[in-house]
Amino acid sequence: MKKILLLAAALLCLGLSASAQQQRPAVEFPDYTFTTVKAAPITSIKNQASSGTCWSFSAISFLESEAIRLGNIKDEAKYPDFSEFYVVSTSYKERAEKYIRLDGKLGFSAGSGCGDVLEVVRDHGIVPNEVMTGMNYGTPLPQQSELDAVLLGYVQAVSKSRTLTTAWKRGFDAVVDEYLGKAPETFEVDGKTYTPASYRDAMKINADDYIELTSFTHHPFYTWFALEVCDNWRGSRSYNVPIDELMAVLDNALDKGYTVCWGADVSHPGFTRNGLGILIDEAAMAPAAGSDQQRWVGGGEPGRPAPVKVVEGNPTQESRQIEFDNKTMTDDHGMHIFGIAKDQDGKKYYMVKNSWGETGKYKGIWYVTEAFMRAQTLDITVHKDVLTKDLKKKLGVK
């Protein structure tokens, strides 16, 4: 009976999915030509592959660009390459401790956020990728489903123990170390010996110089709160500002040569797998049932309308809140914003470095419209120097 019910549920979901797909318009994207207006230096495109560690890849890329800016590094051959998995390893171990202290009442998955990376860097430091690649389990690219399943099963079992043993933490750490490699206590760079903390300091990275901004109305503006998403397991706090001010901070940062760490919803159909982020307005683009448009150009496929040109939506503070409250805007993906470009018609786009390898038309770079950024942004992390004096005063930031 249980199998029958599961099958029925699966078929129902499949039917709903197919129905939704039939109602979605096929979008005809123009052939874009982008021209860079301004772009800060970034390091090479990385590939998180089959791992849920975009948060580390995006934040580490952000800190690499910060190290380039702070060190005034002009020679690309000398650009830093920090280890994403040093951060991931440290985060996993600290999350396990919190999970056990909370008796398993905490999300435990591969996901996290930029705030997590900054806390690891603040408390522990950073290391070069060459001394801890995280690839200690026999595949050329990250493949972490096995590790994630093992770690989840481990902490779930430990959390059910009435009395904890003295071995559980050592055992957990040993599993992480076997998969990702043991974090080095010291290492050499250009003939000089560093610890993770001294290397962080040599790179001039001060985690306290960075703040996270978000924009929602279920908390008062100009206060800070922990964004209520499962991946925010540390409870990292964001300053809440109106979306217009958040966008102004983003533009100011890029104009001044800074870059930005970005947490976003990418489940929107306008975030393509070919390097575009466009807030397509599906309702405006779909022909009405029984309309003359549907009658004459109703589709090349049965039940599916013909391709239509892109119409962008007009997001507001209110629409953002509705999307967040009804879970159609969720914490999907972390990326790194580094510049501004214009298309052939002069329209503005943000240049975004992704961590899916050199994929898509633009080899790992995404071009994202202002409307998409305004609608789909969960949070941004910036250097506090890009805030205006007025906003610093409102937020109490020195």
Q: What is the DSSP string of 152-196?
A: HHHHHHHHT-SS--SSHHHHHHHHHHHHH-PPPS-EEETTEEE-H
What confidence tens digit (pLDDT) does each residue in 180-190 have?
999 999 999 99
What confidence tens digit (pLDDT) does each residue in 20-78 have?
333 455 677 888 999 999 999 999 999 999 999 999 999 999 999 999 999 999 999 99
Would 206 be classed as within a structural domain?
yes
Count of structural domains within the chain? 1
Predicted structure pTM score: 0.89
Name the DSSP letter for residue 25: P
For position 376, which CATH number holds?
3.90.70.10
What confidence tens digit (pLDDT) does each residue in 76-91 have?
999 999 999 999 999 9
Q: Is 110's pLDDT higher than 90?
A: yes
Would 90 be classed as within a structural domain?
yes
As given in the structure block, the two tokens for residue 140 are 């050329």
Predicted local confidence at residue 283, as pLDDT: 73
What confidence tens digit (pLDDT) does each residue in 311-343 have?
899 999 999 999 999 999 999 999 999 999 999
Predicted local confidence at residue 307, as pLDDT: 56
Would 174 be classed as within a structural domain?
yes
Predicted local confidence at residue 308, as pLDDT: 59
Query: What's the rounded Cα separation, in Å, for the pair 196 and 120?
Result: 11
Per-residue confidence band for 288, with pLDDT thresholds at 50, 70 and 90 = very low
Q: Which residues contact 356 (CB under 8 A, 6 or more apart)?
A: 47, 48, 364
Would 77 be classed as within a structural domain?
yes
Classify residue 138 as left (phi > 0), alpha (psi -120 to 50) or beta: left
Would 141 be classed as within a structural domain?
yes
Query: What's the rounded Cα separation, in Å, for the pair 39 and 380?
Result: 17
Q: What is the mean pLDDT of residues 259-283?
A: 93
Would 289 be classed as within a structural domain?
no
158, 118 contact by CB (below 8 A):
no
Owning domain of residue 100: 35-279+315-395
Evaluate the CA torsion angle 53, 57, 62, 67 in order and state its sign: positive
Would 208 be classed as within a structural domain?
yes
Would 84 be classed as within a structural domain?
yes
